[in-house]
Amino acid sequence: MITFPKAKINIGLRITEKREDGFHNIETLFCPVPLCDALEFVISDNQKKADKLTVTGIETGGKPEDNIILKAVRKLRENYKFPKLKIHLHKAIPVGAGLGGGSSDAAYILKGINRCNRLNIDNDALKAIALELGSDCPFFIDSLPSFATGRGEILIPCEKKVLENYYLVILNPGIGVNTKEAYQNCHPAAPSETLSSVIEDTSPEKWREKIINDFEEYVFGKHAIIGTLKEELYRAGAIFSLMSGSGSSVYGIFRSKKNIPDKLAEYVIWQGFI
């Protein structure tokens, strides 16, 4: 089976409080985008050996056996039986980029194994398994625009097609941002109004005044180029720009198809209409 795990962007990201379990509660809107990895798996010829993962494309920076995909397979095997697998990942979503690439890979392998082996695991149960792998993993089970609270696992579908007919440009500076470190340097605070009310009541033209990412202050201070890319997107005519997740990717929303300035071209990893 071959599948294409999607990336996501965050429209707004507020860190509302630190929890007693050490995690943080957040408020965000997850939106899937067409930037994808390619993930293929087949039944292994040797069922006596462990599952095997090979990786091509963008460097993941770790050993295949430590990849979240194999962690997802091992987690699923705790309660379900299915044949040993040979898995190949072609990585196109940058690592440590705030685009959820690893979480998406994990969610899509769970979905793929469930489907191919007729395990009959419903989506709620898949999301519970996914949450053990990462806070944004459950979102990728459905991969539908969703408001997220809690750790990111409490999901409410967004009925409004917020990016329809807008042109999206995603930039990445080639820097990996450590999510744990970003959380350690944030300052939780409850927002004065909910993100859902802002998005439902306004268009992207008004978001610059109301929607923020709480990680930007710390990340821009450590990696000035990321803040510069956001400024350059506004100079290029974006009606809204924000860092996605804990970084390092930045996106810009435009009213129509945009010819990106040459000085930004090297950073473009995806652009188009959603």
Each residue of 215-234: pLDDT tens digit? Answer: 999 999 999 999 999 999 99
Per-residue pLDDT tens digits for 165-196:
999 999 999 999 999 999 999 999 999 899 99
Residues 132 and 266 in one domain: no
Assign 52 a pLDDT band (cuts: 50, 70, 90).
very high
Residues with a catalytic annotation lie at: 8, 136
First-last CA distance in the chain: 25
Residues 176 and 250 in one domain: yes
Does residue 142 lie in a domain region?
Answer: yes
Residues 115 and 247 in one domain: no
Residues 219 and 241 in one domain: yes
Q: Quote the pTM value.
A: 0.96
Residues 129 and 223 in one domain: no
Residues 115 and 95 in one domain: yes
Give the residue from 101, 122, 157 where a domain finishes.
157
Structural domains of the chain, count: 2
SS3 of the chain: the string is CEECCEEEEEEEEEEEEECCCCCEEEEEEEEEEEEECEEEEEECCCCCCCCEEEEEECCCCCCHHHCHHHHHHHHHHCCCCCCCEEEEEEECCCCCCCCCHHHHHHHHHHHHHHHHCCCCCCHHHHHHHHHCCCCCCCHHHHCCCEEEECCCCEEEECCCCCCCCCEEEEECCCCCCCHHHHHHCCCCCCCCCCHHHHHHHCCHHHHHHCCCECCHHHHHHHCHHHHHHHHHHHHCCCCEEEECCCCCCEEEEECCCCCCCHHHHCCEEEEEEC
Supply the pLDDT for residue 61. Answer: 84
**Residue 163 class from Cβ within 10 Å (0-12 exposed, 13-18 middle, 19+ buried)?**
middle
Given a cut of 90, is residue 274 above it in pLDDT? no
Supply the pLDDT for residue 235. Answer: 97
**CATH code for position 209:** 3.30.70.890
Given a cut of 90, is residue 62 above it in pLDDT? no
Residues 11 and 134 in one domain: yes
Token pair belonging to 231? 């400024």
Does residue 162 lie in a domain region?
Answer: no
Given a cut of 90, is residue 147 above it in pLDDT? yes
Per-residue pLDDT tens digits for 84-118:
999 999 999 999 999 999 999 999 999 999 999 99
- Average pLDDT of the chain to the nearest whole number: 96
Residues 33 and 148 in one domain: yes
Does residue 257 lie in a domain region?
Answer: yes
Residues 178 and 90 in one domain: no
* Structural domain span for residue 258: 167-273
Which of 84, 76, 154 is closest to 121 using CA atoms?
A: 76
